Amino acid sequence: MTDDLLAHNGHLAQVLGLHVGHFTHPDRPTGCSVVLCPQGATAGVDVRGAAPGTRETDLLHPSHLVQHVHGITLAGGSAWGLDAASGTARWLEEHGAGLDIGVGRLPLVPAAVLFDLTVGDMRIRPDAAAGYAACQAACAAAPHQRPAEGSVGAGAGALVGKIFGFDRAMQGGIGTASFTVHGVTVGALIACNAVGDVYHPRSGQLLAGCRSSDGRQLLGARDALLQGHAPQSLLAGSNTTIGVVATDMALTKAQAQRLATVGHDGLARAINPVHTMSDGDTLFALGTGQAPKALDLMTLFTLAAEAVAIATARAVLLARALPVAGQTPAPSWADMPPCL
């Protein structure tokens, strides 16, 4: 039942004007991912989770002055991971991108982070050098090359299904998807570290999440909660799904903000529960304006929600258990028996 998701061949780098790259730390499962738009893109954001970790989200409000950003950084490492955005900004400055301030250029790089500090040595986390390296990877990729997915970049240390404890979770990851209609592409890149379970957005099949007490099969957190099972108390902010939804159609700032808002519909189709007090769910939206045509907003927003939903599911389907010193890695989708 997952063949349609695995066969999906759309991805965010197909959006004209965008470059996507990852850095995965060699010493523990963590990293960062960048979406570069050196020529500038109209941007918006919608933060739905109650425990976000973000940078430069206020400037994206439609009533505020700045009209364009030059990149988005997604990172592990919780609040420390926000340092990665400084490396992204440095790379963009070196390559002549940014807001012209007369004496130079100032790259604007909003960012969001997820919590992966329980996986391995928390003192190892993405920094400015990691953000710079992710930009180098994005620049080195062939035009419109599919970005790596699964246990890489910002999704390397992600876990899902932690409602009944981290020891019953499964591997999360990062995924991408896109659709093109009448010459306009809408795509998404999603790093899924949700407290909830992840479902096939069309069939409703449970893909990954909380496991049974013996760890051998998927439990189904939604049904367990409906039956009265009490969730485990979790550190606020220790879960989060972050990402970018983008199009090469021209957008106003208000339309970009609405694109980010509608993108959360895709998260709700793939994750349950979602937008909780323990999550910091944040989606950025970009409009590069490089497509030769335009779509009506109904179609655009429908494509956006679908791309987000599929990218979220692919994040867990393509994740793999990574070695962690002194710890037993959480199983991936590929390690578990199918849930029928």
- Show the 3-state SS of the chain: CCHHHHHCCCCHHHCCCCEEEEEECCCCCCEEEEEEEEEEEEEEEEECCCCCCEECCHHHCCCCCCCCEEEEEEECCHHHHHHHHHHHHHHHHHCCCCEECCCCEECCCCEEECCCCCCCCCCCCCCHHHHHHHHHHHHHCCCCCCCCCECCHHHCCCEECCCCCHHHCEECEEEEEEEEECCEEEEEEEEEECCCEEECCCCCCEEECCECCCCCCECCHHHHHHCCCCCCCCCCCCEEEEEEEEECCCCCHHHHHHHHHHHHHHHHHHEECCCCCCECCEEEEEECCCCCCCCCHHHHHHHHHHHHHHHHHHHHHCCCCCCECCECCCCCHHHCCCCC
pLDDT of residue 82: 98
pLDDT of residue 39: 96
**Domain extents in the chain:** 3-335
CATH superfamily of 3-335: L-amino peptidase D-ALA esterase/amidase (3.60.70.12)
At 74-108, the pLDDT tens digits run 999 999 999 999 999 999 999 999 999 999 999 99
Mean pLDDT computed over every residue of the chain: 94
pLDDT of residue 251: 98
pLDDT of residue 311: 98
pLDDT of residue 340: 46
Residues of the chain with pLDDT under 70: 235-237, 338-340
pLDDT of residue 211: 94
At 173-228, the pLDDT tens digits run 999 999 999 999 999 999 999 999 999 999 999 999 999 988 889 999 899 899 99
